[in-house]
Amino acid sequence: MLVWQVDFYRRPQNNIPMWDLLICDATGKFKYEASCPQSQANSTWITSQFELARGSGNPDKIQVFRPQSLSLIETAARNLNIEVEPTRSTKALKQWLKEKSYPITIEQLPPVPLPDNLLGDKWRFASLKAGDLEEFRNRRIPIVEFPDFLLPLNLGLASTQLVPGIIIYGGRQSMRLARWLQESNPACLNYISGAPDGLILESGLADRWVIVTFDDNEVKAAAKSYEQRKQQCRGLHFLLVQPDDSGMTYSGFWSLQAEN
């Protein structure tokens, strides 16, 4: 499958408004770049550039990380019957943008509480050996999101490396919570200190959700350990939803990675 990572953004620090279209593949070996003035910055122009770039191969999917450019790119891709995937996981593109000194940070909105009907019975911090983590790809779980690029082996992690995570025991709401998470497209789960402290789920392109809050000192210490282990694992962590702590059934599993 050929996947493009695409960004369409107004060039920073320029007196004459110009828009840059950047296209690359996941390896960063294929790159295509074009610019247009403000008057041409529309889906028709983007469609024409996609057609030119397709000379190097017709993409099966286009990935977009910037919310502001999503709508135009979706319209252009629809004209060519190309699927669009909104995702924060566009590493090759973001690296290219960094090299060009383009901003890639998305404005963070205040996190909002998780809907009441999705709250689980309880939760806890957990850790799994990297080798054991990979087994979740093959377990009979209704929802599993574990892309190849997040396999511990592909991140250079030893099979004995402890990978941190969060387990939510959803009780009767377990599958409803798992389906909601699947639709929300989780990206990472971060500990945020404050009054009170909490776990914030980053999902979609810019959504933020309060999963849980706490002010217990022991839980705070565990949260700090969780963040430290994430750093030791190149940001890798996981989210597991299951009905209870019996270990017999699972509702959903997500392999996640914190961005640098």
169 token code pair: 């025991």
Task: Check the CA dihedral 140-241-147-165 and report its sign.
Answer: negative
70 token code pair: 């999503």
| CB contact at 8 A, 258 and 237 | yes
Q: Is the pLDDT of residue 116 over 90?
A: no
User: Could you tell me which residues come within 8 angstroms of residue 111 by beta carbon, excluding any fewer than 6 positions away?
Assistant: 198, 200, 208, 209, 210
Q: Is the pLDDT of residue 217 over 80?
A: yes
Instruction: Write the secondary structure of the chain as one string of H (helix), E (strand) and C (coil).
Output: CCEEEEEEEECCCCCCCEEEEEEEECCCCCEEEEEEEHHHCCHHHHHHHHHHHHHHCCCCEEEECCHHHHHHHHHHHHHCCCEEEECCCCHHHHHHHHHCCCCCCCCCCCCEECCHHHCCCEEEEEEEEHHHHHHHHCCCCCEEECCHHHCHHHHCCCCCCEEEEEEEECHHHHHHHHHHHHHHCEEEEEEECCCCEEEEEEECCCEEEEEEEECCHHHHHHHHHHHHHHHHCCCEEEEEEECCCCCCCCCEEEEEECCC
**Residue 25 has what pLDDT?**
94
**Residue 75 has what pLDDT?**
97
Nearest to 62 by CA among 41, 77, 44, 72: 77
What pTM did the predictor assign?
A: 0.86
Give the CATH number of domain 3-99; options: 3.90.420.10, 3.40.50.1110, 3.30.1490.190, 3.30.420.10.
Answer: 3.30.420.10
**Residue 68 has what pLDDT?**
92
Banded model confidence at residue 14, pLDDT cuts 50, 70, 90:
low
Look at the block and give the residue holding tokens 């989210």. 239
Task: Check the CA dihedral 158-164-169-175 and report its sign.
Answer: negative
**Residue 260 has what pLDDT?**
65
Mean pLDDT of the chain: 92
Mean pLDDT, range 226-231, rounded to an integer:
96
Delimit the domains of the chain by residue range: 3-99, 112-257
Q: Tell me the pLDDT tens digit for each residue of 153-200.
A: 999 999 999 999 999 999 888 999 999 999 999 999 999 998 789 999
